[in-house]
Structure 1
Amino acid sequence: MTTQRNPGLTDDITVSGSFTFSASHELRMLPEGHKCRRNHGHNYTVTVEARVHSGVSGDLSPLGAYLDANFDHYLLNERIPFHPTCELLARHLAEWFEGHIESARLISMVVSETPRTAARCDGLTREITISKTFASDLGDVTLVLGSDDLDEVGFVTDFGDLSPFAEHLRDPAAAERLRRAGPAVASDLAGWFVDVVEPKIRARLRSVRVDSRTAVGSWERGEAA
């Protein structure tokens, strides 16, 4: 667990912790033939961030105990009454946290199935966003997507097909143009995604981050966009 005092808020401290568990699931609401309908497993990472008053322990270990007792080495379909995706699991864990750890105010709950795909539930609004990281010649490119109508399927594939973006990153002509973009590369990628991919999916791009070998570039969507 880590702690961080918030500047200007002398009685407020941010605490965070990560917990892991291994489990399998079957995403039975996905289309016939989708490989994730079949039983498969993940090594999950759950990362929580919360705010506590100075002098309060901020002990997050009850969350780890809950994960160990209820999910570790289980079939998730038999443990929870909803489609066992990381998006809906993040929402469930956020609700559990607020009902069982009264000494802390939840900031965020993040559930990762793989190092490159994660779901985040906002502690205040309960909004769920998806982060998806793509490898490219530019470095790692991470998209954060949000949706106003995430339904009971609760899965990133329900947003629509993101493969055109991966293909764009692999296209030699596009890669050369992106290299010339320099610090504006994140904005360039965001513009392409909003113009080409976003109209065909059920999600809105929230941010883009490019971690190159020498620098980090980022773009974040404004409220009016």
Structure 2
Amino acid sequence: MKITQAFTFEAAHRLPNVPATHKCHRMHGHSYRVELQLEGPIDPATGFVIDFFDVEHAFGPLLQQLDHHTLNDIDGLENPTAEHISMWIWDRTKPLLPALSSVKVYETPACWAEYTGE
């Protein structure tokens, strides 16, 4: 069984490793959406793979680090592409949520990166 819980945050960033002429080189912001997918058996007693409140509790502190901040200023996100953000979230969330199977980070409704721990 797979379950997904979504979170949103607002943040600014710039991409320092693109040419100065690239529009993402300048500071700008996004309304990010993060989807954490977890996979595992359904517990026969609870009926859950994992309680969504437990997912929220595990991810909440990271969400606070990201929301309404400049991502470039966060340790490990100096080049905050959607790809790097998804890996950053994975690395900090997987130890707390062993059933985590995927992290998706949407910069816009039509653009996202998905990391599965490769």
Q: Which has the higher contact order (CA 8 A, sep 6+)?
A: 2
Across the aligned residues of Structure 1 and Structure 2, the Cα RMSD in angstroms comes to: 1.7
> Which residue pairs with 2:73 in the alignment?
78
Once the two structures are TM-superposed, the CA of residue 95 in structure 1 deviates from its matched residue by 1.4
1:84-99 superposed matches below 5 A: 84-99=80-95
Instruction: Name which one, 1 or 2, has greater alpha-carbon Rg.
Output: 1
> Which residue pairs with 2:115 in the alignment?
121
Alpha carbons of 1:84 and 1:36: their partners in 2 closer, same or farther (altered >3 Å)?
same
> Which residue pairs with 1:196 in the alignment?
none
Q: Which runs of 5+ in 2 are unaligned?
A: none
- State how far apart, in whole Å, the 2-side matches of 1:42 and 1:80 are: 19
What count of residue pairs does the alignment treat as equivalent?
110
Structure 2 residue corresponding to 1:69, chosen from 64, 70, 75: 64
> Which residue pairs with 2:96 in the alignment?
100
Runs of 4+ aligned structure 1 residues displaced above 2 Å come to: 55-59
Once the two structures are TM-superposed, the CA of residue 63 in structure 1 deviates from its matched residue by 4.5
Q: TM-score, normalised by structure 2?
A: 0.83
Q: Which runs of 5+ in 1 are unaligned?
A: 1-5, 7-13, 128-225
Amino acid at match of 2:6: S
Q: TM-score, normalised by structure 1?
A: 0.45
- State how far apart, in whole Å, the 1-side matches of 2:36 and 2:21 are: 34
CA contact (8 A) 2:76 2:88 kept: no
Once the two structures are TM-superposed, the CA of residue 32 in structure 1 deviates from its matched residue by 1.7
Seq. identity, %: 30
